[in-house]
């Protein structure tokens, strides 16, 4: 059994520092220096087992996704990631699991030069809470509230893939559960796990990879400073998240459903969660150079609310408490 301090020591031995970290892991708190002329951008997101990722998700993917969903929030603000903190609640002190988790977490942290500077380690149901810090030059942060009538609506990447992967995982779980419901105790549980692993090898499925290893659109967020009028990242589905942007901007939008990128069915592209793509608005003058970064799916108008050009009502997005 490894102690809390062994676990923290191990984390500390694997992290890299960067500029403006005056003091990282090891004291009561970290000391960070915000360079002159910049605003500090802070975001936090929690991931709970069974709610934010399927229980069979590998440790490295959990580590990756815990940081990715947070970096996605910084991307949506147009911020350059700099530092992060990590609160880990673990059911047991498992050094091998922690190492796998850190493989995923630190691979993405290194990609974005985001230094892990502190955190907390406790015992409890598996839950990961990450805080990210980033920088923007004064006055250049992207917000949800700036969309203007006449702007185009854009999204990055493809939408709905993660929702399709999640639905497939749920279908396979139900099937495996039915199949093994007559076997007892541990033998049944082990057989269930094995058949899930066979049916769903995480690495062999591109869609599952979209669910487990989202790509935060940090570079695109930076390119949108002084270009986008409003921006939000898509965690709960396009309809719901764009709805937040429209409400904050006090405008409406008309979307061309057929233009929403991806191979997933209509409702998954419109309302599937967990994509971590960016949705933003920009004046038509930027069309030509934005076409290399994103897909244009509609435009902003003055009538509040979201309208679709195919006359079918929009599906609803994800709500934890509904
Ligand atoms: P304290 O009791 O003063 O809150 P801790 O023993 O919780 O301190 O943590 C000691 C040091 O290790 C602190 O610098 C803290 O930020 C860091 N730390 C603890 N857990 C983690 C973690 N999961 N990831 C990164 N740093 C951590
Ligand atoms: Mg202390």
120 lines ligand 1 (CB under 6 A): yes
Residue 190 — very low, low, confident or very high, per pLDDT cuts 50/70/90? low
Percent of the chain with pLDDT over 90: 78
* DSSP string for residues in 282-311: E-GGGHHHHTTT-EEEEEEESSSEEEETT-
* Minimum mean pLDDT range among 2-6, 41-45, 230-234: 2-6
* Minimum mean pLDDT range among 69-83, 98-112, 192-206: 192-206
Burial of 10: CB neighbours in 10 Å, binned 0-12, 13-18, 19+:
middle
203 pLDDT above the threshold of 50: no
User: What is residue 106's predicted lDDT score, i.e. its pLDDT?
Assistant: 98
313 pLDDT above the threshold of 50: yes
Q: Whose CA is nearest to atom 2 of ligand 1?
A: 28
User: What is residue 172's predicted lDDT score, i.e. its pLDDT?
Assistant: 86
Residue 225 — very low, low, confident or very high, per pLDDT cuts 50/70/90? very high
Say if CB 47 and CB 65 are below 8 A apart.
Answer: yes
Give the DSSP H/E element, type plus range, for residue 44.
Answer: strand 38-48
8 lines ligand 1 (CB under 6 A): yes
Say if CB 62 and CB 96 are below 8 A apart.
Answer: no
User: What is residue 50's predicted lDDT score, i.e. its pLDDT?
Assistant: 84
248 lines ligand 1 (CB under 6 A): no
**Sheet containing strand 152-155, strands side by side:** 230-234, 277-282, 152-155, 295-301, 252-255, 305-308
Burial of 258: CB neighbours in 10 Å, binned 0-12, 13-18, 19+:
exposed
271 pLDDT above the threshold of 70: yes
- pTM, entire model: 0.91
Give the count of beta carbons closer than 10 Å to the beta carbon of residue 27. Answer: 9
Best residue among 119, 128, 129 to mutate for probing ligand 1, ranked by most atoms within 8 Å of CB:
119
Tokens of 309: 């050009």
**115 C-alpha vs ligand 1 centroid, how far in Å?**
14
115 lines ligand 1 (CB under 6 A): no
User: What is residue 110's predicted lDDT score, i.e. its pLDDT?
Assistant: 98
* Minimum mean pLDDT range among 138-142, 193-197, 304-308: 193-197
Round to whole Å and give the CA distance between 97 and 173.
Answer: 23
Give the DSSP H/E element, type plus range, for residue 46.
Answer: strand 38-48
The CA distances from residue 266 to 239, 252, 259, 281, in Å, are 12, 21, 11, 22
Round to whole Å and give the CA distance between 313 and 164.
Answer: 20
Round to whole Å and give the CA distance between 210 and 226.
Answer: 29
């Amino acid at each position: 059994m490894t102690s809390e301090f062994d676990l923290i020591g191990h984390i500390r031995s694997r992290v890299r520092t960067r500029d403006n970290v005056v003091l990282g892991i090891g004291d009561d708190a970290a000391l960070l220096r915000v360079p002159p002329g910049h605003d500090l951008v802070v975001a936090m997101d929690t991931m709970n087992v069974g709610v934010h990722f399927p229980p069979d998700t590998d440790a490295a993917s959990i580590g990756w996704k815990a940081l990715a969903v947070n970096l996605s929030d910084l991307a949506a603000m147009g911020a350059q990631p700099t530092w992060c903190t990590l609160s880990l609640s673990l059911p047991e002190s498992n050094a091998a699991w922690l190492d796998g988790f850190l493989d995923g977490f630190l691979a993405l942290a290194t990609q974005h030069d985001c230094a892990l500077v502190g955190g907390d380690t406790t015992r409890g149901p598996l839950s990961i809470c990450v805080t990210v810090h980033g920088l923007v030059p004064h006055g250049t942060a992207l917000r949800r509230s700036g969309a203007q009538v006449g702007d185009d609506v854009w999204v990055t990447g493809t939408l709905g893939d993660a929702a399709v992967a999640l639905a497939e995982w749920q279908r396979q779980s139900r099937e495996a559960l039915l199949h093994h419901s007559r076997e007892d105790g541990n033998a049944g549980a082990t057989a269930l796990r094995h058949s899930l692993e066979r049916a769903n090898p995480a690495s062999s499925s591109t869609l599952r990879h979209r669910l487990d290893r989202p790509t935060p659109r940090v570079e695109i967020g930076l390119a949108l400073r002084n270009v986008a009028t409003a921006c939000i990242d898509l965690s709960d589905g396009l309809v719901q998240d764009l709805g937040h942007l429209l409400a904050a901007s006090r405008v409406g939008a008309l979307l061309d459903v057929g233009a929403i990128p991806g191979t997933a069915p209509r409702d998954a592209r419109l309302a599937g969660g967990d994509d971590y793509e960016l949705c933003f608005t920009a004046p038509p003058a930027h069309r030509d150079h934005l076409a290399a970064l994103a897909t244009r799916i509609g435009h902003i108008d003055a009538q509040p609310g979201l309208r679709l050009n195919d006359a079918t009502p929009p599906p609803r997005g994800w709500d934890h408490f509904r």
